Structure formats: C-alpha cells, structure tokens
Amino acid sequence: MNSKLVAGKILLVAATLISAPMVRAEVQTTDPRYFTIQSVQMEEIELDENDMADVFGAMVRPQLPTPIPPTGPAPMPAPFPAPGDNSTPAPNAGTGNATVDGIVNLAKSIWDIVVENKPVVNINVDHANALPTGVEAWTSLSNWQVPKGKAYRVNYINGFGSSVVDFTFRVLFVPGGKFKGKGAYITNATIVPASVKVSWGFKFNASVKVSSITNAGSLKNPLAAMQLDMNWIVESVLKHEQQTQNFYIRGDGTLMNLSDGSILSDAK
C-alpha cells in the first residue's frame, strides 16, 4: 500500500479521536439536560486540622474597629494614658463599661464567601463574635478554648449525572471566653469556602449573615449563642436555585445544623 495513503489514514483516525470528545461536549452543553439540576447532595466531611489554624491565626491578630473622628463637642478624657504618659492605666481600662448581662457582635454581620464562582477568603475581617456589652475586643476576655468547627460538601448533579457545582465549606468558631470569670462567649465565628468547582454555563454565589445573637444562659452567667445563615444561589440559562443552611453555635462549643437538626456538641 502506498505509504502516503497509509499516513493519510492514520492522520484521519487521529483527528477523529481528538475531535470526538469535543463533539460530545458540545452536544451536552446544548442539551437542556446539561442545565437541569437532577439532584443536590450535602454531606459532612472530615475537617482538617489546618482549617483550625486559619481561625487561630485570625484570633491572634484581632481586627479592632476603625476610630471615627468626633463631629460633636469634645469628648471627656479617655481612661487611657495620653501619648508619652508612662503612668499605669486603670486596672479595667477598655472594659470599665462592660457588663455581663448584654451580648453584642463587634465584628461583621454579613459577608460574601463566593462571588461569581470565585472563593472569597479574608478571615481576618470576615467573622463575627458574641462578646459582653462594653468590651472593645475579645482580648478583654480569658479562658478561650481551642477552635471548634465542622466541614461540609455540597454537590449539584445535572441531567447527565455530572457534577456542575462542587462546593466545600467550613463552619468555624472559638468558644469559651470568660469575662471577669463569668460567662461563655464566642469569637472568630465564620463560614469560609474550602474549594469551589463550577462547570461552564453555571454561576455560583454564596454569602453569610449573622441573623441573631442571644443569651442561652442566665444574666449572671451568660452563654453566648449565635445563628449563622449561609445562603447560596446556583444559576444557569434554565435554572435559578437558592438554598439556605442555618447554623447555631454557642459559647460552650455546641454547633447545630438547624437545617437538618443535627446537634454537633462534640465539634472538634
């Protein structure tokens, strides 16, 4: 057989093998089944110890509120030494007006964790806390425990049985803080993305909101509690799906997924 003819047949077969997957992919992405969500799976997965390091790293670098320049009458002198003053500050400097019977969030109340398929991770800023009214930062408290948390994976399956959105996230917080030996408070509470994989033709966005801060204990010995709501939206040309997962955490280390009722008091 002519060598040129043989070479031509080999090239033709090779071209066919290379183009076949591209043709199948094009057929799939034009088929309505590609954009149809057949099922949604959510499962708890193992939480890596490195995830805890993220929270602890943020905890040792607290983000204090940015001072707002006064616009009214000159304020009363602060209980802190003036610049260059070497005198000793008052024993309860920064906590003199703090009370154990009120609980507030001094950090964020809402933040994005995925924007147009891209994860947003800024744990130094994107977190919440539940602290006594009047304190300026979690550093005014003591007895903080090791970080706690759980990890979850959400998977959207289309009409071809393929994964089109694969999203892994972590619910993390530091419990146990005491103020003047009382209470159990929360700092660095957050939900952060671990990984996001989104197929062509789909758009994925997710955000977190602190929907409530409550006292699950008594006035004399408060137990801080917080509800974190994570909302996400999956969009395609044929589908718009929105879902919310609600997580309840407490200063004693309890973590509960309110959406499925599971109580995770043994959170790592």
Q: How far is Cα 173 from Cα 138, in angstroms, rounded to an integer? A: 13
Banded model confidence at residue 101, pLDDT cuts 50, 70, 90: low
- The predicted-structure confidence for 157-204, as pLDDT tens digits, reads as follows 999 999 999 999 999 999 999 999 999 999 999 999 999 999 999 999
Whether the model clears a pTM of 0.95, i.e. scores above it, the answer is: no
> How much is the pLDDT for 96?
44
Least reliable range by pLDDT among 94-103, 122-131, 231-240, 251-260: 94-103
Q: How far is Cα 235 from Cα 238, in angstroms, rounded to an integer? A: 8
Which of 94-133 are b and which e, b meaning 16 or more Cβ less than 10 Å from the residue's Cβ?
bbeebebeebebbbbeebbbbeeeebeeebeebbbbbbbe
Work out whether strand 224-235 and strand 110-115 pair parallel, antiparallel, or are unpaired: unpaired
> How much is the pLDDT for 192?
93
Which one has a higher pLDDT value, 26 or 248?
248
> How much is the pLDDT for 29?
61
Q: How far is Cα 206 from Cα 166, in angstroms, rounded to an integer? A: 13
* Percent of the chain clearing pLDDT 90 (strictly above): 56
H/E stretch holding 142 reads: none
- The predicted-structure confidence for 137-151, as pLDDT tens digits, reads as follows 899 999 999 999 999
- As a whole number, mean pLDDT of residues 24-28 equals 48
Burial of 61 (0-12, 13-18, 19+ CB in 10 A): exposed
| Structure-derived torsion over alpha carbons of residues 248, 254, 255, 260, reported in degrees to the nearest 10 | -80
